[in-house]
Amino acid sequence: MRDFLRDSTASKLLIGKALGALGSWLDHRHGPDLHDGMHLDPQIRAAVTAKAWIKMPEIQTAPPSKARKLYAAQIAPFDLRLEPMARVEEITIPGPAGPLPVRIFWPEGAAQAGPKGAASTRGAPALVWFHGGGFVVGSPRTCEPALRRMAARGRFVALSVGYRLAPEDPCPAAHDDALAAWRYLTDHAEAFGLDPARIAIGGDSAGGNLAACVCLKARDDDAIRAPAFQALVYPATDFTRSMASHETFAEGYMLTRALANWFLDQYIPNGVAHIPNRVDPIPNGVDPVPNGVAHIPDRVGRSPRAVAVRVDRRDPAVSPLFAKDLSGLPPGVILTAGFDILRDEGRAYARSLQRAGNDVEDNCAEGLVHGFFSLSGVVDAARNAIDNLAAQIASGLSIGG
């Protein structure tokens, strides 16, 4: 039954129609759900109402290993069907504390997608993507449906990177892994059949945070190739959690304040990171303390030489909104959701990038909630937002029609 719900186009169509009918009835019966001049999409309203009726288990009540399975099971019935690919590769690449998994999706026509419709001579355009999940749950598999769709619509290769998760591997393990993965994949782009000059970076939620932080590090280090484009989807940019949307949407809109705080407490427990005093070389030339952020040992066990240090949640190494200088960053798009506790910090980051002179679009999917990527199999507006994002990435990578 679970496979039917996950893969059947007919089942998703039926669920979508049912949600639309229920949402329209709720709007008629109780009036539309309005905040800041935005109208909650009826299908989304029905989905969040059904979640409350069903009393689905809260992720934060489970141990992390079970929470990951629970998260994957909860999103599967509402996610997109898997778009067919010309080929899918599953590889590992070197990371700071061990191999990192990468799934590579090659859609039809990607290898021939040269600049503005010309034949490609240097390789395919690509998007390196970091999944969401609060640094605790999620994997390359959980973001696969949306990523396949974007790759197919945009005609670019999509590389979905796995990274270490908290609480087994707290801050800054995920950030270290993201930077190491970006460096390795771009340094070896031609070996993968990719055009090194046309590689974008992106991610959703926690993954959007990782992508934003990589962009800052690449700007400040000439040895790191800068992304050609950045696509950040409802990114976490301010770990202080102090903006108004955290209060406005604290309950009832998928990502609650309690869950967001639990995620952050797993990644930065009590504001403390454990930093190894290591002198051995790091694989692939990765700086062991990039911009003051040190490496965490792998989840097999913490190094006896590790030292606990307090992490400032305003540190731009984890909260890019607080970077003193945001100039010189890649063009891109920040896509937020209108009914999301992370909305205000995502939009504030977009505006800060614009003020610093970057060519970045501030796009808000007004009627949607956090995590709408995983609702796009049954929510029309979510699916449209993904398709629009794919077109923007393709344009940013100069992919012709």
Catalytic residues: 205, 340, 370
Size (the chain), residues: 401
Taking phi first (over 0 means left), then psi (-120 to 50 degrees means alpha), and beta for anything else, what does residue 2 get? alpha
How many DSSP H helices and E strands does the chain contain? 11, 12
How far apart are the C-alpha atoms of 198 and 397, rounded to whole Å? 6
Beta strands in 56-206, from DSSP E residues, in sequence order:
87-93, 100-106, 124-130, 157-161, 194-204
Q: For helices 42-54 and 380-396, what crossing angle results, to 10°?
A: 120
Chain Cα centroid distance, residue 234: 8
How far apart are the C-alpha atoms of 17 and 99, rounded to whole Å? 43
How far apart are the C-alpha atoms of 310 and 373, rounded to whole Å? 34
How far apart are the C-alpha atoms of 308 and 151, rounded to whole Å? 41
Helix, strand, coil percentages for the chain (3-state, nearest 5): 40, 20, 40
Cα atoms found within 13 Å of the Cα of residue 339, Cβ hemisphere only:
21
Q: Annotate 275-327 with DSSP letters as a single string.
A: EE---SPPGGG--SSGGGPPPPPPTT---TTEEEEEPPTT-TTT-GGG-S---
Per the listing, tokens 């066990």 go with 301
Largest Cα–Cα distance of the chain, in whole Å? 65
CA distances from 200 to 15, 98, 124, 230 (A): 34, 24, 12, 6
If 0-12 CB within 10 Å is exposed, 13-18 middle and 19+ buried, where does residue 162 land? buried
Question: Count of CB atoms within 10 A of residue 244's CB?
Answer: 11
| Paired tokens of 60 | 């934060």
